[in-house]
Amino acid sequence: MYRYDHYDQVLVDQRVAQFRDQISRRLSGEITEDEFKPLRLQNGLYMQLHAYMLRVAIPYGLLSSDQLRKLAEVSRTYDRGYGHFSTRQNIQYNWPRLQDVPDLLAELASVQMHAIQTSGNCIRNTTSDHLAGVARDELVDPRVYCEIIRQWSTLHPEFAFLPRKFKIAVTGAPTADRAAVRVHDIGVRAVPGRTADEPHGFQVLVGGGLGRTPRIAEVCREFLPREHLLSYLEAILRVYNRYGRRDNKFKARIKILVGALGIEAFSEQVEAEWAQIRDGAMQLTPEEFDRVAADFSDPDYAALEPSDLFVQSLALSKDRALGRFVASNVLPHKRPGYSIVMISLKAKGKPPGDATAEQMELVAELADTYGFGRIVVAHEQNLVLPDIESRHLPELHARLSALDLAEPNIGKVTDIIACPGLDYCNLANARSIPIATRISERIEDLDYLHDLGDISLNISGCINACGHHHVGNIGILGIDKQGEEFYQLMLGGSPSDDASIGKILGPALPSAEIVDAVANVLQTYVNNRESADERFLDYVRRAGFEPFKEQLYGQPEHA
Amino acid sequence: MANPSTPEAPELHPGARRIIRVGAAGKPEIVIDHWQRLVDGDPFPSLNALPVLVSLERAEQERPALEHRLGTWGIWLAGDADPEQVAARVLDRALVAIAVTKFTDGRHYSLARLLRERYGFRGELRAFGDVLPDQLSYMRRCGYTSFELARGKSLETGLRCLDAFSVSYQGNTEDPRPLYRRRG
């Protein structure tokens, strides 16, 4: 993984000193809260319902075991012994005291971490595929470009006060988008060169996003040679900085600008700007590409026999706990004899994405013992051990089970993405986490869970959509109806290559009925699907909403 | 709070003020500034030798009068001015000032960079308005060379903020090379 050199380290150290100075000026009254707010947000510090919350950047989700141990230590010292992994591959701590934050950031800097630009109207943490570097379907390792983008965007002097926040995601797998690039402000997709001699380049998508106005990104440029990546991003950001709306924060994201101009006109403006800067000093040099890529080269994999058949046999093991875990949480690795292990942070009855200090320390230890000391945070709020020798899977499963980390539900309907909701957030209209825990408790029959197959279920506590409800196969949106928590049920969303925005199924339901409604929807699918091979999303797309409405609301519309 | 080590020149006229300016050696320092920034309709200062800053519109309407004064003249622009429209009309000025109406509105950063990098403005580029110490290093890297801080803001803090970082990943208007062309 990327290792800081002298320059990278000096920059994060100076950033800590700068924030220490800013906080002391805030505490002395030299800076007003209005002036301080953007400064603290650009260091990840939010004011939540009850206290501050600090969001720490995990660039493209990649951690070393030492970094994860540090995150555990920080959670003990400054939080209440746990951390919350977010949908953008970051970690959040609740309850830090303002005057302690500089020391906390200094702790992070000691392991090459920071909280720079994890909030505020600036370029946020660049996210990526959680299987980067180990997936079989990968064209190029996207983390190389993510790191290059991280450096370009860090403390960029021109783009610190954009109209609104700005999120970039990169995928290196042209046929398997696991980074949700189509619902980002900019989505970067690695694509093969246009001729046999040409190296890979990028398709650049722009204007996607969720929130109040969900929108699927459109193609801004079909093929961008890789050496021009940064100048092209700079051109998009400059057009957005100059012309994005600033009169209304709900109309300020780039998707509104792209929508207002139309993708052709927007793209023409970007191309005109890019033409002025593309051949300048921002061109990526082969030396820089090689320097960064060297840090992402493969670890010392052993030469092993293929293990696919062995893994399949484990999935059918008489030990059903192990069998289910392998069937749902173990993925094929690009190297023979290795597997990718997904660790679900969605154990029954637990807030999605939360991990205790003990759990983090165990995962770090397992990464050292069985892998190469690397851990990845997935945007679905789970952890990944990317390099596990398949023969160790039973042992690993037993170790994970001991700390409630072996929930066999990756990709299943209880692998719920949820925002913090009304329990923590001052924007929320309704609670999210209790709904998630009630759904996971309701679907307790694991055979039924696995029979349902791959279904994503996303919950947001308000229309800001931090739980990405628009792109869940099942989406739940909390709303406020005369002071009562109600929930809208949506079906048909997807964040992947077949990205789509879910549609509302019918009238919103009170909290007491929403879990039954989800169970009802699932049963309708099971009863009517063509076969177990027809995924939930495919069934919804084929059959439409009528069967669900009939079962849930009892009123066939055309009866 | 006055710092005894900084110059406290006698007030020559009501418009003189202390600002931060990047000196010839690239070092920011606190200096006394005499430029008189005029809102459209303000009369020219009676002291004929004082340099004035006027809007682009006024500069074009009243050019003969400006040329007739002893003091030189510069132009101030709105932060959302379109560089394509205005650049050619300000390039020959010794001072161009850009209004920061609200520090959270970042359009002026693009304007400053484009005036410097695309249109080659070589004079003094000044920020005024809602100019706060914590944004000065971004402004400096976008090509600003002088800073009139918002009322009540400490110039000493401003100098300290300008010195916060010795490293940046991006190039700047003086040296366009990103760090990856400078790493040694």
**Tens digits of per-residue pLDDT, A329-371?**
999 999 999 999 999 999 988 889 999 999 999 999 999 999 9
Q: Give the pLDDT of residue A51.
A: 84
Q: Shortest CB distance from B170 goes to which of A31, A38, A156?
A: A156
CB contact (8 A) between residue B172 and residue A154: no
- Write out chain A residues lying below 8 Å of B132, CB-based: 35
CB contact (8 A) between residue A30 and residue B154: yes
User: Quick check: B61 pLDDT over 60?
Assistant: yes
CB contact (8 A) between residue B165 and residue A18: yes
Residue B2 lies in a domain: no
Q: Give the pLDDT of residue B4.
A: 45
Q: Give the pLDDT of residue A556.
A: 53
CA distance B11 to chain A (A): 26
- Write out chain A residues lying below 8 Å of B106, CB-based: 121, 158-162, 241
What letter would DSSP give residue A285? P
Which run of H or E residues covers position B99?
Answer: strand B95-100
Burial class (CB in 10 A: 0-12, 13-18, 19+), A138: buried
* Rounded Cα distance, B98 and B129, in Å: 8
The reply to whether B163 touches chain A by the CB within 8 Å rule is no
CB contact (8 A) between residue B167 and residue A11: yes
Residue B84 lies in a domain: yes
Lowest-pLDDT choice from A40-54, A141-155, A279-293, A400-414: A40-54
CB contact (8 A) between residue A17 and residue B103: no
Q: Shortest CB distance from B110 goes to which of A35, A158, A281?
A: A158
Going by DSSP bridges, is the β-strand pair A168-171/A503-504 parallel, antiparallel, or unpaired?
Answer: unpaired
Phi/psi for A333 (5° steps) reads -100, 155
Banded pLDDT at B12 (limits 50, 70, 90): low
Residue B108 lies in a domain: yes
Q: Give the pLDDT of residue A348.
A: 85
Residue B4 lies in a domain: no
CATH number of the domain residue B30 falls in:
3.40.50
User: Quick check: A41 pLDDT over 70?
Assistant: yes
Banded pLDDT at B6 (limits 50, 70, 90): very low
User: Quick check: A559 pLDDT over 60?
Assistant: no
* Rounded Cα distance, A16 and A56, in Å: 13
Q: What would the pLDDT profile of A431-488 be if each residue is shown by its tens digit?
A: 999 999 999 999 989 999 999 999 999 999 999 999 999 999 999 999 999 999 999 9
Banded pLDDT at A420 (limits 50, 70, 90): confident
What letter would DSSP give residue A494? B
Percent of chain A topping pLDDT 70: 99
Residue B7 lies in a domain: no
* Rounded Cα distance, A79 and A62, in Å: 22
Q: Which of B137, B140, B159, B167 to mutate to test the interface with A (most CBs of A within 10 A)?
A: B167
CA distance A22 to chain B (A): 8
Q: How many CA atoms lie within 13 A of A143 on its CB side?
A: 25
- Write out chain B residues lying below 8 Å of A281, CB-based: 171, 176-178, 181
Q: What would the pLDDT profile of A311-340 be if each residue is shown by its tens digit?
A: 999 999 999 999 999 999 999 999 999 999
Q: Shortest CB distance from B166 goes to which of A10, A242, A281?
A: A10
- Write out chain A residues lying below 8 Å of B156, CB-based: none
Q: Give the pLDDT of residue B7.
A: 47
Number of structural domains found in chain B: 1
The reply to whether B176 touches chain A by the CB within 8 Å rule is yes
Q: What is the DSSP string of A168-229?
A: EEEES-TT---S-GGGSSEEEEEE--SSTTSPPEEEEEE--B-TTS-B--EEEEEEEEGGGH
**Which amino acid belongs to residue A524?**
T
Banded pLDDT at A145 (limits 50, 70, 90): very high
- Write out chain B residues lying below 8 Å of A246, CB-based: 105, 107
User: Quick check: B115 pLDDT over 50?
Assistant: yes
- Write out chain B residues lying below 8 Å of A31, CB-based: 134
Banded pLDDT at A546 (limits 50, 70, 90): very high
Q: What is the mean pLDDT of residues B17-45?
A: 94
Residue B114 lies in a domain: yes
User: Quick check: A424 pLDDT over 90?
Assistant: no
On average, the pLDDT of chain B sits at 92
Q: What is the mean pLDDT of residues B13-22?
A: 88
* Rounded Cα distance, A393 and A414, in Å: 23
Tell me the residues of A at the B interface, defined by beta carbons under 8 Å apart.
5, 7, 10-11, 14-15, 17-18, 21-22, 25, 30-31, 35, 38-39, 121, 151-152, 154-162, 230, 238, 241-242, 246, 276, 280-282, 284-285, 287-288, 291
For residue A105, which of A16, A30, A216, A184 has the smallest C-alpha distance? A16
Q: Give the pLDDT of residue A364.
A: 98
Lowest-pLDDT choice from A161-170, A367-376, A441-450: A441-450
- Write out chain A residues lying below 8 Å of B136, CB-based: none
Task: Domain of residue B64: give its range.
Answer: 17-181
Residue B5 lies in a domain: no
User: Quick check: A554 pLDDT over 90?
Assistant: no
Banded pLDDT at A259 (limits 50, 70, 90): very high
**Beta carbons of A432 and A514 less than 8 angstroms apart:** no
Q: How many CA atoms lie within 13 A of B160 on its CB side?
A: 12
- Write out chain B residues lying below 8 Å of A13, CB-based: none
On average, the pLDDT of chain A sits at 95
Phi/psi for A168 (5° steps) reads -120, 135
Banded pLDDT at A555 (limits 50, 70, 90): low
Domains and CATH numbers, chain A: 6-109 (3.90.480.20), 134-293 (3.30.413.10), 308-402 (3.90.480.20), 417-553 (3.30.413.10)
For residue A7, which of B180, B167, B3 has the smallest C-alpha distance? B167
**H helical segments located in chain B:** 56-61, 63-68, 83-90, 107-113, 136-141, 155-162
Residue A426's SS3 state is coil
Q: Shortest CB distance from A281 goes to which of B105, B134, B181?
A: B181
Q: Which of B80, B86, B134 to mutate to test the interface with A (most CBs of A within 10 A)?
A: B134
User: Quick check: A70 pLDDT over 60?
Assistant: yes
Banded pLDDT at A174 (limits 50, 70, 90): very high
Q: Give the pLDDT of residue A405.
A: 98
CB contact residues (below 8 A), chain B span 95-124, against chain A: 103-107, 109-110, 113, 118
Chain B residue with minimum CA distance to A23: B134
Q: Shortest CB distance from B106 goes to which of A15, A161, A281?
A: A161
Q: How far is CA B180 from the centre of its chain?
A: 29
Banded pLDDT at A426 (limits 50, 70, 90): confident
Chain A residue with minimum CA distance to B84: A273
Question: Does ipTM top 0.90?
Answer: yes
Residue B6 lies in a domain: no
Q: What is the mean pLDDT of residues A400-407?
A: 97
Instruction: Kindly report the number of other CB atoms within 10 A of residue A430's CB atom.
Output: 25
Q: Give the pLDDT of residue A61.
A: 97
